[in-house]
Amino acid sequence: MPIATPEVYAQMLDAAKDKSFAFPAINVSSSQTLNAALKGFADAGSDGIIQISTGGAEYLSGPSIKNMVTGSVAFAAYAAEVAKHYPVNIALHTDHCPQDKLDGFVRPLIDISAERVARGEAPLFQSHMWDGSAVPLDENLRIAEELLAKCAAARIILEVEIGVVGGEEDGVANEINDQLYTTPEDALATVRALGAGENGRYMTALTFGNVHGVYKPGNVKLRPEILREAQAAVAAELGLEAGSRPFDLVFHGGSGSTAEEIGAAVDFGVVKMNVDTDTQYAFTRPVAAHMFANYDGVLKVDGEVGNKKVYDPRAWGKAGEAGMAERIVEACQNLRSAGTTLSS
């Protein structure tokens, strides 16, 4: 199917909230990992979100170019073409963008989408993330307010991060400490600054102990009840009935989370969960197995010529794509999105 329109994306998020499931948001950095993500969502019968980080966008532009906007535009164009042939809805998103990269990443992409919308076309990306976790909350929300207005005009959803995700991703590192837990006061400040949808739709990444990177289950101390408390505080502020979930929440840093923790987060309003570390390994592990099993074919050992059939990048690339697609099916099952596509 074509890349999701703004209307379809809104329907996707609404369905996730109403039916208590979440979409895996899969980070990709190449055409191979993009194809793997598409296959994974199709195999799961799930709509989904595919996203690129600042580093992924730079990588996609080529090693001698290293331009995040060029890589993003190329990614979106490729995705729009190949996604047509899959029976699921896919939204495109840009992941963590810190303050020092706004002018070289998110702001130019919003401008491109605004130009497209003015011509009667769909925006290039369906959502963008502003990561203001490294700046004071008032500055974070001031920038978010400015970006939200521009995104709304370009028919784009903004994602904001209120709190700090520990660990490291794309060179951005944060300590693992009490700052990893968003407070109800932080949630109230967010809705007072950004509104409850009247100023444009946004998703909110509240932090409840999330940590980027690789961790075994039990090593990360998540407190999903923080999400429930934040939703309750905002619902009361807005005069909504008890049990309402006014925020569209995003779950970052989920590697090593237990099924119970993921389920609780979804029940409290998470509609999008970022998946990167696990799918990177799921892609690379079969590639490593291929290389070890065929070392004398992928290498020209002792003056021999090797075996073109096994060193052809398509041979190990297919193995990597299959492994990553399988992990995405698992993510869809864990987040309850499997079999929920709007097109079914």
User: What is the distance between the alpha carbons of residues 141 and 338, in angstroms, rounded to a whole number?
Assistant: 34
pLDDT score recorded for residue 228? 96
| Residue 177: per-residue pLDDT | 43
pLDDT of residue 29: 97
- pLDDT tens track for 223-233: 889 999 999 99
Average the pLDDT over 195-218 and give the result.
79
pLDDT at 246 over 80: yes
Which residue type, as a one-letter code, is found at position 36? A
Per residue, what are the HEC states of the chain?
CCCCCHHHHHHHHHHHHHHCCCEEEEECCCHHHHHHHHHHHHHHCCCEEEEECHHHHHHHCCCCCCCHHHHHHHHHHHHHHHHHHCCCCEEEEECCCCHHHCCCCHHHHHHHHHHHHHCCCCCCCCEEEECCCCCCHHHHHHHHHHHHHHHHHCCCEEEEEECCCEEEECCEEECCCHHHECCHHHHHHHHHHHCCCCCCCEEEEECECCECCCCCCCCCCCCCHHHHHHHHHHHHHHCCCCCCCCCEEEECCCCCCCHHHHHHHHHCCEEEEEECHHHHHHHHHHHHHHHHHCHHHHCCHHHCCCCHHHHCHHHHHHHHHHHHHHHHHHHHHHCCCCCCCCCC
The tokens for 107 are: 């702001």
Q: Label residue 211 by pLDDT band (50, 70, 90).
A: low
Q: Is the confidence at residue 10, as pLDDT, over 80?
A: yes
Which of left, alpha, beta for 112 (phi over 0: left; psi -120 to 50: alpha)?
alpha
Q: Is the pLDDT of residue 202 over 50?
A: yes
Q: What is the pLDDT of residue 221?
A: 72
Q: Which tokens go with 92?
A: 């495109």
Instruction: Name which of 191, 207, 100 is nearest 148 in CA terms.
Output: 191
| Mean of pLDDT values over 258-282 | 94
The whole-number pLDDT of residue 169 equals 47
Using the predicted structure, report yes or no on whether residue 173 has a pLDDT greater than 50: no
Are the CB atoms for 339 and 55 separated by under 8 Å? no
pLDDT score of 167: 43
- pLDDT class for 63, splitting at 50, 70, 90? very high
Mean of the pLDDT values across residues 232-259?
92
Of the candidate ranges 173-177, 231-235, 245-249, the one whose mean pLDDT is the lowest = 173-177
Across the chain, mean pLDDT equals 92
Is 38 a residue whose pLDDT tops 90? yes
Q: Write out pLDDT tens, residues 174-189.
A: 444 456 689 999 999 9
| Band of pLDDT at residue 37, cut at 50, 70 and 90 | very high
Predicted confidence band at 222 (pLDDT cuts at 50, 70, 90)? confident
Q: Which two tokens stand for residue 334?
A: 């864990």
The answer to whether the beta carbons of residues 208 and 224 sit under 8 Å apart is yes
145-172: pLDDT as tens digits: 999 999 999 999 999 999 765 444 454 4
250-266: pLDDT as tens digits: 998 776 788 898 999 99
Instruction: Show the tokens assigned to 317.
Output: 């690339």
Answer yes or no: is pLDDT of 218 > 60.
Answer: no
Give me the pLDDT at residue 212, please: 53
Helix (H) or strand (E) holding 169: strand 167-169
Catalytic residue from among 47, 95, 170, 248: 95
pLDDT, residue 220, reads 58
Look up 312 and say whether it is catalytic. Answer: no
Q: What percent of the chain has pLDDT over 70?
A: 92
Q: Which helix (H) or strand (E) holds 174?
A: strand 172-174
Q: Which two tokens stand for residue 110?
A: 């919003």
Q: Per-residue pLDDT for 309 more than 70?
A: yes
The pLDDT of residue 209 is 80
For residues 7, 12, 17 and 23, what is the CA-based torsion angle, rounded to 10 degrees?
-140
Mean pLDDT of 308-316: 97
